[in-house]
Amino acid sequence: MRDSSYHPLKPKALARRLNVSAAEYATFRDELKLMIRRGQAEFGIGRVVKLPSTRNEIIGTFKSIRKGGGFVTPKAGFFSSAGREDIYIGPGSTLDAATGDVVLVSLRRATGTSTTAGPAKRDRARPADRSSGRSPQGRIVEVIERSSREFVGTYYIKDAEAFVHVDGSIFHEPIYVGDPGAKGAQAGDKVVFEMLRFPSPQMLGEGVIREILGPRGDPDADMKAVLRQFHIPENFSEQALADAREQAKLFEESAPDPHRRDLSDQLIITIDPVDARDFDDAINVEKDDAGHWRLGVHIADVATFVQPGTALDGEARARGTSVYLPGRVIPMLPELLSNGLASLQENRPRYTKSVFVDFDPEGRITHVEFANTLIKVAKRLAYEQVQEFFDSTTGRTRVVHGEVADLLLRARELATILRERRRARGFLELSMPEAHVDIGPDGHVVGATYSKHDESHALIEEFMLTANEAVAQELKDRDLAFLRRVHENPDPIKLHAFAEFARSLGLDIQDETSRYELQRITREVRGKPEEVSVNYAILRSMKEAVYSPEEVGHFALASPTYCHFTSPIRRYPDLTIHRMLDGLIRHGKAGYDYSELVVLGEHCSFVERRAQKAERELVKVKVLEFLKDKVGQTIEMTITGVEDFGMFVQAKVVPAEGLVHIRTMGDDYYVHDSVSHTLTGQRTNRQYRLGMIVRCVIAKVDLNQRQLDLRLESPQGQPAEKSKKRDASFFPKRTTKKKSRSAAPPRRGAKKRRRR
């Protein structure tokens, strides 16, 4: 199509010109669709195929910013002369667009490339370089598609009129909702309202209340607010429940099916979180006298209960994933299945799909086998119990002993061998702390910590990765289209930005695009104050992992072929893989239409992101609720981001992140250096940089805006006085006190920016 002699042709005419046979046309058509999705080609008038034109108008997704205006991320296939960069929309040029809306933008100018300021970008930040003329700019001329017309917020009354503070940062001004008392709403209630008129720079928004969720701060109201905010369905249809009940009637605790192998006499165990609701994976490990291994990974056979075309399947497909929230799970499947028939409970016969992988003593795969099986879990273990066993000096504990202990020791040895081989391939291990919120009997938060990821977690993770790769390789070898889990290589520009950031911390990077260099950097910073900042920076330089039939590979896992197979109770993509394996086991054939997989992959990627956002949002709400009565207390935090308006910090004890705004740092005049990621005092030369540990005072907890504001307890270099309001129940005692790493001197000749 780049040839000067090419004139746009319809797909079939183009296929004829390329001598594509009738048998190859379906593949040609699928490839053409992918090119169009990637923006490599487009349909013109009359549905002719042509190269994408340079547009002065693009279509993209809008995200507003606090000081007015926002940014539009171009959709695939709508990259303009500005390339893939976000388009800056100035205040007054947004029409009535809201965050998440699909909009049409008219470009004003594109004057160069914006720079990446490191890992510190957050929803509350507006990096100066993106709105100061160096980013492409435009104005919104049409809102094409609303992300939603229903929103959640807190109801209040002012001057005899009713308003709603919308949760989060979607809208920065309250929305008028009519006369007070509509639907019996009381000040402080959480409400759902429908937007009648979206707010614009010229006019306030107006809505009407549809539902009252309950008073703000009520645990049930907070839960419902997040579910409504992200449009997550709670209840199953009666037909879907009826399908689940019918499957329960048909279930037999035996293996009458000739295609199902009975493994109920084998020693098989599960290892899960202590508070797990469903159990969909089990393992066993054997080793012979010659040092050869056999790993068995047994996954709940959900495909047996969820038949294609049923109401149960339709609802599972629409949900796409289970949603794990603090104190509650919104399952993909009714609990009769997710917590019952398909859950691998101890001493209960259960149907599974098993992957058997044989290894030589060095951990090289020698044989892979798949089977429909019946198992009976001999022992259910929690991660904490397994880790206690691994840490024990006697080699046995009250819970773990005998054959189970021997199995765990074999499993640890094999997992170590496999993990080392994976590291040799370039596997990236990012230490990303995960929040864990403890909910009391009344639904209120009683504690918040970071979840551990220790040797017991790594063992199960390694075996699940192995099973996923084995299944993906089998389907690839059979030349079948299937729903892969893909993770594209990072953009070299973002990797360069990360390398510059790493060098500012004194880390040496030779090959910026090498996975092994990233792997080495993560090892170098492990256990150091800058570990959190570096890991977040690497994560932000990566593309998002998605579901797709495209053969892209998985960058972070260093895996050329990968899919999700091990969690069909909670992920619909895994269920599609189970159905394909079942077809191969029973009939020797299986398959999905490629075009269907493209659409399904986009849907499953979307609902996965939605579930993750909902979980993060409710965790944030719960953590802020936990902190709201601790204003004035002191907390030790790590600087994770430095901007010209202040520092982002992350607590070491609780999973909380907040902002120390530069206006609260009144002891000096601080200048931001974007190269070294520092704030330096002009009078005292006092410096704050990424990775430093600082003591902060909780200044404000804003539940409406989901924000935590902090201030420094005392300037660096001066002894931090012990807070009189220190809460022993909030901050656990420590036997040793870690010292902060001293700040590096300012780099000679470093470029400085004036404080905004």
Tens digit of each residue's pLDDT (9 = 90 or more) over 421-447: 999 999 998 877 788 888 888 888 888
Residue 82's pLDDT band (cuts 50, 70, 90): very low
Average pLDDT, rounded, for the chain: 86
> Is pLDDT at 36 greater than 70 in this prediction?
yes
pLDDT in tens, 465-486: 999 999 999 999 999 999 999 9
Residue 416 pLDDT:
97
Q: Long-range contacts made by residues 552-555, C-beta under 8 angstroms, separation at least 24?
A: 552/484, 552/486, 552/487, 552/488, 553/486, 553/487, 554/485, 554/486, 554/487, 555/428, 555/487, 555/488, 555/489, 555/490, 555/515
Does residue 531 have a pLDDT over 70? yes
Q: Looking at residue 178, what DSSP letter applies?
A: S
C-alpha–C-alpha distance, residues 234 and 240, integer Å: 13
Q: What is the CATH number of domain 57-145?
A: 2.40.50.140
Query: What's the DSSP call for residue 469?
Result: H
% the chain with pLDDT above 90 = 56
How far from the centroid of its chain's Cα atoms is residue 389's Cα?
Answer: 31
Structural tokens at position 605: 């990627």
The CA distance from 724 to 237, in Å, is: 55
Per-residue pLDDT, averaged over 454-464, amounts to: 95
Tell me the one-letter amino acid at 538. Answer: I
> Torsion angle of alpha carbons 619, 620, 625, 628, nearest 10°?
150
Percent of the chain having pLDDT more than 70? 88
pLDDT > 90? residue 242:
yes
Query: What are the boundaries of each domain within the chain?
Result: 11-50, 57-145, 150-216, 238-352+361-486+553-617, 492-542, 631-756
pLDDT at 53: 65
pLDDT, average across residues 379-400: 87
Q: Are 265 and 355 in contact (CB under 8 A)?
A: no
CATH class of segment(s) 150-216: mainly beta
Q: How confident is the model at residue 255 (pLDDT cuts 50, 70, 90)?
A: low
DSSP 154: E
Question: Can you give the pLDDT at residue 97?
Answer: 93
pLDDT of 584 > 80? The answer is: yes
Predicted confidence at residue 54, as pLDDT, reads 60
Digit-coded pLDDT (tens) for 614-644? 999 999 999 999 999 999 999 999 898 888 8
- pLDDT (average), residues 114-133: 37
pLDDT tens per residue, range 313-365: 999 999 999 999 998 999 999 999 999 999 999 999 999 999 999 999 999 99
Give CA–CA dist 480/549, Å, rounded: 10
- pLDDT for position 715: 57
Q: Which CATH architecture has domain 631-756?
A: Beta Barrel (2.40)
Q: What is the C-alpha separation between 690 and 675, in angstroms, rounded?
A: 11
Question: What tokens does 149 get?
Answer: 């017309």
Output the six-digit token pair for 661: 């705004």
Residue-level pLDDT at 271 = 96
Residue 585 has pLDDT above 70, yes or no: yes
What's the confidence (pLDDT) of residue 753? 37
pLDDT band at residue 118 under the 50/70/90 scheme: very low
Query: What pLDDT sits at residue 572?
Result: 98
H-helix or E-strand spanning residue 533: helix 531-541
Average pLDDT, integer, range 734-752: 38
pLDDT at 39 over 80: no
Q: What is the mean pLDDT of residues 149-156?
A: 94
Helix (H, G, I), strand (E, B) or coil at 318: helix
Rounded-to-integer distance, Cα 14 and Cα 570, Å? 43
What is the structure's pLDDT at 77?
53
The answer on pLDDT for 117 being more than 80 is no
Whether residue 674 is predicted with pLDDT greater than 90 in this model: the reply is: no
Pure H helices in 285-361 = 311-319, 335-336
Residue 84 pLDDT: 57
Tokens of 103: 């909009």
Q: What is the largest CA-CA distance in the chain?
A: 83
Tell me what the mean pLDDT of segment 176-192 comes to.
89
Q: Which two tokens stand for residue 43?
A: 């349909």
Which of 114-128, 169-183, 259-273, 589-603 is most confident?
259-273
150-216 matches 631-756 in fold:
yes
Amino acid 583: pLDDT:
94
What is the pLDDT, as a whole number, of residue 754? 34
Residue 130 has pLDDT above 50, yes or no: no
Distance CA 670, CA 686 (A): 9
